[in-house]
Amino acid sequence: MWAKSRQTWRKRHAKWAGKSNAHGKFNLIQLFVIRDLITKRATSNVRIAKRKIWEKEPIVWEILQEVMRGHPVLLNRAPTLHRLGIQAFQPILVEGRTISLHPLVCKGFNADFDGDQMVVHLPLSLEAQAEARLLMFSHMNLLSPAIGDPICVPTQDMLIGLYVLTIGKRRGICANRYNSCRNYPNLKVNYNNNNNSKYRKDKEPHFSSSYDALGAYRQKLISLDSPLWLRWNLDQRVIGSREVPIEVQYESLGTYHEIYAHSWSYSSP
């Protein structure tokens, strides 16, 4: 009897929700993709929609992006010993079969990057989605519910990066804010006579992309802690009339202090 049961278990294919198999993305959210395929008249019935998903047609990927943009998912890592063991996230479709988790939320899950397994849950009803957005999103759980200390703190590589960013001067974070007019008021560079003018020691080099910066580092023209200008194209809306704080200090009770270049403000939760 045991041998027959064992043989049956070996032949069985477990279809867990969110399992990272060849079609894990579609298995998790397949019903919503089929609904949008029929609504947008890309297919006439469920059978043809499933065939389009199996063949991975281009319109399927477009609809999958739209569906995932409006549906949060829940990540859970066993054992769930406290409330932060299950949190909600806004998923982003990436290549591969692994879950890309931000290092700041690893402490709440007690997770590391040595092969841990996590379960993905999909809230279906509008009430469940609203509860996930209002109560379970990771940015709503920044403090430990047990002792009130910050749970999302930088560690490991982020600490090294913060250290490198603040070793320029000894007067604190205000002195490390770059101001080209203040640091180099009388700088004149002749680009016609000097081909390597952007690598001079008296000015910070500038690059049009990150690949150029990596190429200069491989050629030993710059070092890991060299300040530089990098062109970065982002479609972001910035409120220019309000000064951005240079530091935000959080306390255990939820209050925080915003420190500006010439002033500071106090805010309560």
- Residue 206 inside a domain? The answer is yes
Q: Count how many Cα atoms sit within 13 Å of the Cα of residue 250 in the half-sphere of its side chain.
A: 13
For 37-46, what is each residue's pLDDT tens digit? 888 777 777 8
83-130 per-position pLDDT tens digit: 888 999 988 887 777 888 888 888 888 888 888 888 888 888 889 889
Give yes or no: residues 22 and 48 share one domain.
Answer: yes
Neighbours of 86 (CB within 10 A): 19
Indicate whether 10 belongs to any domain: no
User: Does some domain include residue 145?
Assistant: no
Structure tokens at 102: 């931000």
Residue recorded with tokens 């010993």: 81
The residue with tokens 């000064």 is 243
197 or 156: which carries more pLDDT confidence? 156
My answer on whether 189 and 216 are in the same domain is: yes
Residue 165 domain flag: yes
The domain in which residue 204 lies consists of 157-230
Q: How many domains does the chain divide into? A: 4
In this predicted model, what pLDDT tens digit does every residue of 179-204 receive, in sequence order?
444 444 443 434 444 445 555 555 67
Q: How far apart are CA 86 and CA 211, in angstroms?
A: 38
Range 53-74 burial, b when 16+ CB lie within 10 A, else e: beeeeeebeebbeebbeebbbb
- Same domain? For 58 and 82 the reply is no
Q: What is the pTM of this model?
A: 0.55
